[in-house]
């Protein structure tokens, strides 16, 4: 995480989980970045990431994905990841960050 | 826990996800799942046993084989349906490199609204470097 901070890059994660669950997850996993709640899948749909009946008991959820967005709000890299629930894929994204020249110099 | 997921876990999860049908009744109650396969299995077994046990009366032998084939076909079809449901969506409408990321406002874990545009404007460690936006499945 400090590698991202050094480059001025923030991290934020979105799922259908409500705020209470996110609070517990953040505490349990020691996450410092924001966990945002999208229970009605509004943003998930906007980003076309809806996985119908993909969750437990046939619940609609988001399929995993990561976007690298530069300060102008432009997407610079997309990773539509496979079956992994939360993916703070630090090293991989960092590599992309540096290769694309996104972010400030560390 | 968030950063490193054990290598074996996604594989076994995927396996059960594909093999066990994902319909409401059968995902809630495992016995319903087993019944689904047990009924045709039992009928098949009974029929075959009867046919081969009494060959002189087994006029329905061909019917028995047909039933066996049909049962097998049903199981295979069921499995294929399950596999198709288990695949990830194509997400062809997801923003691609070069596009503007759609703005949004969602509540954080304390219920406070957080917007993408707001996040992009805020400096991190005194620098403006951008953002990694992660979508995950949830249901922790």
Q: Based on the structure, what is the number of domains in chain B?
A: 1
Residue B75 in domain: yes
**What backbone torsions phi and psi does residue B99 show, to the nearest 5 degrees?**
-85, 155
Residue B122 in domain: no
Q: Which residue among B91, B95, B132 sits closest to A4, beta carbon to beta carbon?
A: B132
Residue A69 in domain: yes
Residue B91 confidence class, pLDDT cut points 50, 70, 90:
very high
Q: Take residue B85 and report the two structure tokens written for it.
A: 């449901």
Residue A44 in domain: yes
- Tens digits of residue pLDDT in B43-78: 777 777 776 666 666 565 666 677 777 778 888 777
Interface-testing mutation among A23, A55, A56, A69, with chain B (most B C-beta atoms within 10 A): A69
Range of the domain at B67: 13-86
Average per-residue pLDDT for chain B: 74
Residue A58 in domain: yes
Residues from chain A contacting residue B123 (CB–CB below 8 Å): 8
Query: B129 to chain A nearest CA, in Å?
Result: 4
Contact A13 B108 (CB under 8 A): no
Nearest to B75 by CA among B110, B102, B115, B36: B36
Query: A41 to chain B nearest CA, in Å?
Result: 11
Contact A73 B124 (CB under 8 A): no
B135, A63 Cβ separation under 8 angstroms: yes
Quick check: B2 contacting A, CB < 8 Å?
yes
Range of the domain at A58: 2-100
B5 versus A92: which is more confidently predicted? Answer: A92
Taking every pair of Cα atoms in chain A, the longest distance, rounded to a whole number of angstroms, is 46
Give the per-residue pLDDT at B115.
98
Q: How far is CA B64 from CA A38, B41, B51, B55, in A?
A: 53, 13, 7, 12
**Res A82 pLDDT > 90:** no
Query: B53 to chain A nearest CA, in Å?
Result: 44
Residue A106 in domain: no
A59, A53 Cβ separation under 8 angstroms: yes
User: CB neighbours (10 Å) of residue A104?
Assistant: 17
Kindly report the CATH number assigned to the domain that includes residue A59.
3.40.30.10
Residues from chain B contacting residue A62 (CB–CB below 8 Å): 135-138
Contact B137 A5 (CB under 8 A): no
B82 versus A82: which is more confidently predicted? Answer: A82
Residue A105 in domain: no
Q: Based on the structure, what is the number of domains in chain A?
A: 1
Quick check: B78 contacting A, CB < 8 Å?
no
Residue A77 in domain: yes
Residue A52 in domain: yes
Residue B6 confidence class, pLDDT cut points 50, 70, 90:
very low
B12 versus B91: which is more confidently predicted? Answer: B91
Give the per-residue pLDDT at B54.
67
What b/e sequence results for B90-117 when a residue is b if at least 16 CB atoms lie within 10 Å of its CB, and e otherwise?
ebeebbeeeeebeebebbbbeeeebebe
Burial of B134 (0-12, 13-18, 19+ CB in 10 A): buried
- Between CA A73 and CA B120 the distance in angstroms is 7
User: CB neighbours (10 Å) of residue A49?
Assistant: 24
């Amino acid at each position: 995480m400090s590698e991202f901070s050094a480059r001025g890059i923030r991290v934020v994660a979105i799922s259908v989980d409500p705020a209470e669950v996110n609070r517990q997850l953040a505490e349990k996993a020691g996450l410092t970045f924001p966990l945002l709640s999208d229970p009605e899948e509004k943003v998930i749909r906007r980003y076309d990431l809806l996985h119908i009946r993909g969750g437990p008991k046939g619940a609609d959820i988001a399929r995993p994905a990561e976007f690298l967005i530069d300060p102008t709000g432009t997407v610079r890299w997309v990773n539509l990841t496979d079956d992994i629930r939360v993916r703070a894929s630090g090293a991989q994204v960092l590599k992309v960050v540096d290769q694309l020249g996104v972010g400030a110099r560390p | 826990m968030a950063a490193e997921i054990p290598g074996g876990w996604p594989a076994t999860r995927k396996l059960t996800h594909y093999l066990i049908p994902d319909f409401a009744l059968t995902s809630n109650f495992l016995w319903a799942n087993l019944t689904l396969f047990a009924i045709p299995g039992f009928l098949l077994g009974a029929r075959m046993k009867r046919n081969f046990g009494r060959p002189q009366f087994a006029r329905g032998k061909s019917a028995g084989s047909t039933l066996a084939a049909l049962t097998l076909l049903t199981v295979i079809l069921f499995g294929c349906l399950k596999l198709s449901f288990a695949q990830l969506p194509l997400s062809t409408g997801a923003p691609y490199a070069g596009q503007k990321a759609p703005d949004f406002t969602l509540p954080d874990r304390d219920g406070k609204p957080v917007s993408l545009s707001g996040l992009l404007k805020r400096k991190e460690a005194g620098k403006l470097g951008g953002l990694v936006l992660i979508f995950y499945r949830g249901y922790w």
